Structure 1
Amino acid sequence: MSGHIFAAETGGGAATVDLSGGNLILVVIVGVIALVALVMAVVFRGQVLAAGEGTENMKTIARAVQEGANAYLTRQFRTLAIFAAIAFFALLALPADDLTVRIFRSVFFLVGAGFSATVGYLGMNLAVRANLRVAAAANAEGREPAMTIGLRTGAMVGMLTVGLGLLGASLVVLFFQGEAPKVLEGFGFGAALLAMFMRVGGGIFTKAADVGADLVGKVEQNIPEDDPRNAATIADNVGDNVGDCAGMAADLFESYAVTLVAALILGSQVFGDKGLVFPLLIPAIGALTAVAGVYLTKPKAGENGLKTINRSFYLSSGIAAVASIVLSFLYLPGSFAEFGPQFASFDGDPRLIASTAVVIGIVMSSGILALTGYYTGTEHRPVKDVGVTSLTGAATVILSGLSVGFESAVYTTLVIGAAVFGAYLLGGAALTVSLFAVALAGTGLLTTVGVIVAMDTFGPVSDNAQGIAEMSGDVSEEGAQILTELDAVGNTTKAITKGIAIATAVLAATALFGSYATSIYEELAKANPTAKESNLLDFSVFNPAVLVGALLGSAVVFLFSGLAINAVARAAGAVVYEVRRQFREIPGIMEGTGRPEYGKVVDIVTKDSLRELVTPGILAVLAPIAVGFGLGATSLAGFLAGAIATGTLMAVFLANSGGAWDNAKKLVEDGHHGGKGSPAHEATIIGDTVGDPFKDTAGPAINPLIKVMNLVSLLIATAVVSLSVGDNQNDPVRILIAVVAVAIIAAAIVVSKRRSVSIGDPVEAPATR
């Protein structure tokens, strides 16, 4: 990567971009579409709440889940407010060309974090009301009405995600115009940081409760998963909502926001004022096509639920692709020279490049949907093969699930890599055009986000509905079978959305990586023009600085995953001891005459999850600071490349192996290989228990991790260069910052490791059956 390429394309610095009257009107229209999406969210919420609530037993259980979820998120937001305040003032301290930009970058950091929290909270708030209604509909009305309620719940969260993402970005572009990319860095960072904390904390909560419930209830006591005699059942159902719903909704919102940020940063450099508008118009189309997908696709009698959901996805994607092509040819000029004399040397038709890039993103999301569905769906061979291995025990179940995860990661990565490289090739020799094409592929993927979020939310809603049905005992055998089918569909849709979320991370991170390099070159040109050819910017792969950085980036992904999984293990251990204690000490639990103390388990996982999320969060924010200030801009570039590559493979591996184990368990519970209570069932329960923190804690948290580290790197790029070269060079300060960052990371890890001895009495015997 040559400094001359960036210098030639950017003119040695970022040009000021001002929007013309026509483009301002288009941005306002995007803002109006965002408001329409929010109105549709209200409409879908009303449709869900209008459905019947079922029996009093169902209502009682649902209220307990609602209270637990609200209490957890309230405590979590109080904890995260501390991190948000620290990050707000840290952003104020980072240099920027204009004081106003610096202030509003920090302000929109809070807006991004607030929007991310809003999507998570409101999504969870509806999900804990929809689960009851899905269970009631399955019992009284049948499969199609139950599925419709679940899909409408997801549609509400999808519209909320799209609406707030578009609203935030369009307001920034409208008011800051040429400075919008800098302000949007704060918006994206706020959304990504909060989503990562919610994803990690919610993932630890839900999987600690789930693992504890399974190990004692299913394995030791041989009772069903959602049996009311198990003290961890309420916590498990609460966890589905704070992890899979609130956490994942916030995660997908930050994916939406950060991808827009990357596209707008590069778009302003390539397409000028149109580059600030075009990346907003594409996802605006997606908002409208998502509504069309919701209304045009309805469950059909006897049709597999996953087929129904996939049809909605493909229908809305196809409409979005056609509309995006038409928009590209109507809005963009036929030559780069029309953007200004500085682009006269660029070859190609901007309309063709932009439309092709957007279609590549849409096609990629469809490919990931198909691949993930194949590797995690109960009707396909991989999950069936995992189910067969349950006949020979838990060890072979775990081995076969690992194999599915490893294999699926390769093919998914090939699809993502092909999309990234295909979009990159569209720019030809113009590097910034190539990077912008990659970002546009990301915006193409954003056209499907409304449906993707709906698919994801359907998972925890259907899971909770089955739990409420089982705990209440008020659902017929036919209704219970419907809910079991919908739960299996939900497991697959959750795995699919995690695969698509990591794809958005790769596209956004690649574009942000290019923005990082651009920022480095621009700052270097200001500080010391003669340093362009120095080893500071030698990004060659055989440069030891790059290789060391890549190794460190890969290592952070492994360490982050290990911390998250170990946190689940510790918290689950505490749940196991508490549930065993209650079975042993509370009279009449197994007979149904004694009431378990559900609140104690909820309290345990709440405290542990909030405590455990700190260390992974510190690692994500401070690792790039330590590398950047300690080893320099070149090593930080390698660090980001290593994190993107390893994170992609790791996230897909963890998500798909966990999804395969979960659905293999569902397969056995449907009557295959001996059915419930058989040795095969016990083997798949153990496999599912191993997979729980894989697919719902560590795996999906890698997605925001990658983007947080890229955004931190982009934000500190100017400071890294200014302290390394030129008049402001100050090696002692630079090294001190790195040492402090490393010391904080090390201290957090040491404290985290010491907690492992406190989960309970290691010699306590299991409760007897």
Structure 2
Amino acid sequence: MSGLILAAESGPGLNLEGQNLVLVAVVAGVALLALLFAGYLVREVLSASQGTEKMQSIATAVQEGAAAYLKRQFRTLAIFVVVIPLLLLLLPAEDWPVRIGRSLFFVVGAGFSALTGFIGMWLAVRGNVRVAAAARSDGEKAAMRIAFRTGGVAGMFTVGLGLFGAAVVVLVYTGNAPVVLEGFGFGAALVAMFMRVGGGIFTKAADVGADLVGKVEQGIPEDDPRNPATIADNVGDNVGDCAGMAADLFESYAVVLVAALILGSAAFGTYGLVFPLIVPMIGVITAVIGIYAVSPRAGDRTGMSAINRGFFVSAVVSAVLVVGAAFWYLPASFEELGVDTDGSAGMLIGDPRVFAVGAVLIGLVLAAAIQLLTGYFTETNRRPVKEIGESSETGAATVILSGISVGLESAVYSALLIGGAVFGAFLLGTGGSITLALFAVALAGTGLLTTVGVIVSMDTFGPVADNAQGIAEMSGDVEGAGAQALTNLDAVGNTTKAITKGIAIATAVLAATALFGAFRTAVEGSLADQVGDAAGTFNLGIDQPDVLVGLMVGAAVVFLFSGLAIMAVGRAAGRVVLEVRKQFRLKPGIMDGTEKPDYGPVVDICTRDSLRELITPGLLAVLTPIAVGFLLGFNPLGGFLAGAIAAGTLMAVFLANSGGAWDNAKKLVEDGHHGGKGSEAHAATVIGDTVGDPFKDTAGPAINPLLKVMNLVALLIAPTAVAYHQSAVGYAIAAVAIAVLVGVIIWSKRQGGGIASQQAAEPDATEKVATT
């Protein structure tokens, strides 16, 4: 806010006119073209055959359930979208038009995030039946084409809306754009976190409940129409993995842009306000190329080979175009930029063009490395998943132990890769200001996001393939080669979902690191505005006990957040298990096909529980930075953010990769290894998969928006925390935040109840709780 404005004004000037104005307008135009291309893909997908009447009726049930859930979720989130902009008006800014703009674009960011998730889900629940129909009539290649084009719509909406929103803010607010962008990024991140948590609880409650009763207790296939939880499971794939993850990746895109523009304007002046928009504009072009490059060939080992080809083609083209854009647009020396580098002779990179290209290439290389590393730990033909499959022959316990070890090990390598990228980008600014070095980190994030169109396509591909297989199995109309093609695509989809989660985590860390730099700038700017020794200094030395406490609290919040999300899935899944058991007990004809299950109650349980349970993790993310900042001060708040970033990186990768590995180990056994379907090894991998479900699809991916929400809240309150630290007002604000947090956590636990109390409330509930 005032600190960022001060930083921008003390650096190179912000003068958006002439060529720069035209360039930003072109960026906005390209963003709109991305939306038009998304419309073209929608037309292509919807023109495909929908298969048999039975397949269409199943797809319609999934469509209705997903639409009903999102409608209720958006009504719940509307409260926050109304209240928070009013609170943002109270925070300091240069003038009232800027305050109003920040609040207005909070609503825009929230709306764009919700729209991206909704559009991704809307087409996914229509593309799934078309993928199943294509596999039935035309084979795996045609099915994969439709599935990836379906995902491409969500990808193009992500890049189109994110880039358009940022470009409009820059066009309208110019020098004050960094302040207004804080609201845009905060709105996108907050809604994405709620959608990610809520959708994750819904999908995994249904999935766990369906697997435990259907597969383990009744011995029926995963998508057997006799299972009352089957429709809810398919609905959950869309509201969680499509709507939730699309919103998550949109906010990653938006927040990285926000961080790059904030730091860029402070470091490079107008050049820093325009170049971070040029890089993702290139990403729009390469996303189109990458989507068309995903076309299976005869020599491909699996469908993953085609997806990898599309991703790497997109990355290489992006790298070439970014080099050209940097050498065309940026000046040849920092002196021409007016940047104070504290003596350019000490700069590791003396040419701003090379500096920018190096930072962007680091991001591109990181995306490729994360893709390969995550694929190694989660693909069915790789050693880690094979070892988990082998462990299934000795029971569920060894499956769980193997999966945990894979997740823990992969987290180390991923953290080292991400940390190396952050440090490498930071080194590019050696000899210059800290703001310049952090701008390099933000540019690395924009480099990574030049591939986001393909990344979102990969992510949505997963649930579309999963749903297609479910529709095929429930209808019984796809057999032989078509059924095998859908099984193959589903396994590929598990890997693509794991990869996109890994890349989303890397993006979150780069964005959080850049936002941390913006927080530091805001604090130092606010301190400079104050007079006297009472203002204090910004110091994150852990030899200060309060900073060390902040560091530990930040790490602890990640663990508490993960625990709340996993427990929420456990409670909701328990209710699903009881409902499914009750239906099998009261309707014995379900198993022989003489009676039909009632799918509605399970959908209602998942909807009600997920919307209730998402409130507590959401308030935890918003209120903990406020409590720490006003109770302990701005230095401990900086330590808090550092602890959250470190713990969040490791925890998110661990949860995502262990869950993905368990899921594909189950697929490995179902393909005939270690006894195949119905064997004891299969039951063991099903248990492993149910443990991994809330890991990889609820808690793990929700950590990404958690980190960015907490950093953005800290950034927004930084000047106020400086002004009121160690004061009665500050302590009062902290006390209210802590009281609300304690209250919602207690409320959440009381709402949950236990399996025993739920069984007691059931009429004639005499079943024994499954030891599984």
- Give the shorter-chain TM-score range: over 0.9
Tell me which residue corresponds to 1:682. 683
Write the distance in 2 (CA, Å) between the matches of 1:108 and 1:336.
Answer: 33
Distance in 2 (CA, whole Å) between partners of 1:162 and 1:83 is 25
- What stretches of structure 2 of length at least 5 have no aligned partner? none
User: Residue 757 of structure 1 is aligned with which of 753, 764, 767?
Assistant: 753
Distance 1:755 1:669 in 2: 37
Counterpart residue number, 1:479: 482
1:192 aligned to which of 186, 189, 194: 189
User: In structure 2, the residue corresponding to 1:51 is in which secondary structure?
Assistant: coil
Equivalent position amino acid for 1:494 in 2: K
Looking at structure 2, the residues matched to 766 and 204 of structure 1 have their Cα atoms a distance apart, in angstroms, of 25
Whether 1:175 aligns to 2:153 is no
CA distance 1:219–1:25, change in 2 (3 Å): same
Aligned residues: 755
Deviations, residues 415-471 of structure 1 (Å, cap 9, x unaligned): 000000000000013211100000000000010100000000000000000000000
1:469 aligns with 2:466: no
Measured after TM superposition, the shift of residue 343 of structure 1 is 5.5
- 2:396 counterpart residue number: 394
Q: Does 1:733 align with 2:734?
A: no
Distance 1:319 1:511 in 2: 26
Residue 595 of structure 1 corresponds to: 596
- Contact 2:11–2:339 (Cα < 8 Å) also in 1: no
Equivalent-residue separation in structure 1 for 2:406 and 2:668 (angstroms): 16
What is the alpha-carbon distance in structure 1 between the residues aligned to residue 439 and residue 766 of structure 2?
Answer: 59
Once the two structures are TM-superposed, the CA of residue 340 in structure 1 deviates from its matched residue by 2.2
- Rounded Cα–Cα distance in structure 2 between residues aligned with 1:60 and 1:196: 32
Aligned match of 2:412: 410
Distance 2:337 2:417 in 1: 33
Mapping for residues 668-747 of structure 1, pairs under 5 Å: 668-724=669-725, 731-747=727-743
SS class of match (2:719): helix
Picking from 98, 115, 119, the partner of 1:118 is 115
CA distance, structure 1, for counterparts of residue 662 and residue 363 of structure 2: 29
Q: What amino acid is aligned across from residue 622 of structure 2 in structure 1?
A: V
1:213 maps to 210
How far does residue 227 in structure 1 lie from its aligned partner after superposition? 0.3
* Correspondence list, 1:427-446, <5 A: 427-429=429-431, 430-446=433-449
2:650 is the alignment partner of 1:649: yes
Counterparts of 1:480-519 in structure 2, within 5 Å, are 480-519=483-522
- Measured in 1, the distance between the counterparts of 2:588 and 2:406 equals 44
**Map of 2:150 onto structure 1:** 153
Residue 761 of structure 1: SS of its match in structure 2?
helix
CA-to-partner distance for each residue in 1:225-256, whole Å, 9 max, x for gaps? Answer: 00000000000000000000000000000000
Partner amino acid, structure 1, of 2:175? G
Q: Equivalent residue of 2:730, what SS?
A: helix
- Equivalence for 1:727: none
Letter in 2 for 1:249: A
Question: Is the Cα–Cα contact under 8 Å of residues 214 and 225 in structure 1 kept in the other structure?
Answer: yes
Maintained 8 Å contact 2:13/2:270: no
Q: How far apart, in 1, do the equivalents of 2:435 and 2:52 lie?
A: 60
Aligned to 1:52, what secondary structure does the other structure show? coil
Query: What RMSD in Å do the two structures reach over aligned CA positions?
Result: 1.6
Partner of 1:57: 54
List runs of 5+ in structure 1 lacking aligned partners. 1-5, 725-729
- Map Cα deviations across residues 583-625 of structure 1 (whole Å, 9 max, x no partner): 0002410011111110110001000000000000010000000
Whole-Å separation in 1 of the counterparts to 2:297 and 2:499? 22
Aligned to 2:608: 607
Q: Percent of counterpart pairs with the same letter?
A: 66
Q: Deviations over 1:179-205 (max 9, x none)?
A: 001000000000000000000000000
Matches within 5 A, 1:229-244: 229-244=226-241
Does 383-392 or 290-299 show the bigger shift? 290-299
One of 381, 384, 405 as aligned partner of 1:382: 384
**Letter in structure 2 aligned against 1:140:** S
| Structure 1 residue 171, shift from structure 2 partner | 0.2
SS of equivalent to 1:448: helix
With structure 2 as the length reference, what TM-score do the two structures score?
0.96
Which residues in structure 2 correspond to 1:16-95 (within 5 Å)?
17-95=14-92
Question: Distance in 2 between the 1:401 and 1:337 partners?
Answer: 53
Q: CA 1:549–1:591 in structure 2 vs 1: closer, same or farther (change >3 Å)?
A: same
Q: Does 1:330 align with 2:328?
A: yes
Maintained 8 Å contact 1:16/1:179: no
Per the TM alignment, residue 296 of structure 1 is displaced from its structure 2 partner at its CA by: 3.2
- Distance 1:211-1:302 versus aligned 2 partners, 3 A rule: farther
**Alpha-carbon shift at residue 301 of structure 1 (Å):** 3.1
Runs of 4+ with deviation above 2 angstroms: 9-16, 340-347, 528-532
Deviation at 1:529, TM superposition (A): 5.7
Partners in 2 of 1:753 and 1:444 — Cα distance? Answer: 42
Residues 666-712 of structure 1, C-alpha deviation per residue, up to 9 Å, x if partnerless?
00000000000000000000000000000000000000000000000
Superposed displacement of residue 756, structure 1: 3.2
Are residues 597 and 14 of structure 1, via their aligned partners in 2, closer, same or farther at CA, if it must alter by over 3 Å?
farther
Q: Distance in 2 between matches of 1:540 and 1:711?
A: 22
Paired amino acid for 1:308: A
Shift of 1:330: 1.1
TM-superposed CA distance for 1:530, in Å, is 4.3
Which range moves more in the overlay, 399-408 or 477-486? 477-486
- Asked if the contact 2:206–2:606 (Cα under 8 Å) also holds between the matched residues in 1, the reply is yes
What residue identity is the alignment partner of 1:581?
K
For 1:251-262, list aligned pairs within 5 A.
251-262=248-259
- Please tell me the residue identity of whatever aligns with 1:359: L
Q: Distance in 1 between matches of 2:738 and 2:428?
A: 40
Question: Partner of 1:41: helix, strand, or coil?
Answer: helix
Deviation of 1:97 (Å): 1.6
Return 301-310 or 591-600, whichever deviates more: 301-310
Using structure 1 for the length normalisation, give the TM-score. Answer: 0.96
Q: Distance in 2 between matches of 1:568 and 1:644?
A: 24
Q: Which moved more, 1:287-296 or 1:409-418?
A: 287-296
Which deviates the most, 297-306 or 523-532? 523-532
| Alignment partner, residue 3 of structure 1 | none
State the one-letter code of the partner of 1:507: L
